[in-house]
Amino acid sequence: MNIRRSCLSAGWYPRRPEKIAAFLEALPPPAFPPGPVCKIALAPHAGWYYSGVLAAASVSALAGRAAGNSPGSREGWDGTVAVIGGHLPAGAPPLFALEDGADTPLGPLEMDSGLRDLLLRELGGGADRYADNTVEVLLPMVKYFFPRARLLWLRLPAETASYEAGRVLARSALSLGREIKVLGSTDLTHYGYNYGFTPRGSGRRALDWVKTVNDRRFIEAVLEGDGGAVLARAEGEKSACSAGAALGCLGFAAETAASGGGAESALSPARPPSAELLAYGTSADTAGEGEIPDSFVGYAALRWV
């Protein structure tokens, strides 16, 4: 079996199964109540020290872990989890992991080769041969909450075609009779001197602007299902990294909501699916009390129901 090995250093996430379990089991149950099945979520992709709690909120939402549910309550689910990463500019092709599986400290995730091969024919694209964190950093959580699931590893560029790619993913899964959940991987504003982006200087004023204005505008575009605004704000306001993953989630959500009834092909459907913000934070939250680092990144966890 051809297994895709980890390309990230140990600092990105724990490498021992007991450490992964301890991290995830120590998290409080999400505040959201039980409700409709969640098939789509958006998570950040920094190292677990910075954004692991928010990423876990998204993955556990996919698993149906609400207040009162224990971790791993979806152990019997054996569908496909499509993890959509990014770090691809406009004009880049979709990239797929072509291996038979992907390694995690909890054991390998088998690839859904049938769905992947169909998407390769429908979307084009090629093999993902790059070292990239946007998919890999989420895989131990996927394996923990969905130990029997198969994986689709896909990275999408920051362009409007990624919205349509999400719709194609929904139609392709339906045609193959796949039960599927989609996990997008997108970070928000990269602010500070490390990133060459300091429109509000530094300190408290800068952090408050990122949290209440720049990140908020991108989150609102996602919540409204407005793919055009998602892309425009990510590019024009530098409020997101890997916007293609968010667009893929929106396209998948729009096609799923249409239930085969012919969803609009525009980036802003007349009846956008329902999305909600589960949690928000920044890497500055890990600094000491009262300290604001010169550079920081925003993170959000969202789900669609």
DSSP the chain: --EEPP-S-GGGS--SHHHHHHHHHTSPPPSSPS-SPP-EEEE--S-HHHHHHHHHHHHHHHTT--TTPPTTTTTT--SEEEEEE----TTPPPEE--SSEE--TT-PEEB-HHHHHHHHHHH--EE--S--HHHHTTHHHHHHH-TT-EEEEEE--SSTHHHHHHHHHHHHHHHTT--EEEEEE-EE-EEEGGGTB-TT-SSHHHHHHIIIIIHHHHHHHHHTT-HHHHHHHHHHS--EE-HHHHHHHHHHHHHHHHTTS---SSSS-SSPPPEEEEEEEEGGGGSPTT---SEEEEEEEEEE-
- pLDDT higher for 292 or 259? 292
- Is residue 265's pLDDT more than 80? no
Average confidence score pLDDT of the chain: 90
pTM: 0.92
Compute the average pLDDT of residues 170-197. Answer: 97
The CATH number of the domain covering residues in 33-304: 3.40.830.10
Q: pLDDT-derived band of residue 67, with 50, 70 and 90 as boundaries?
A: very low
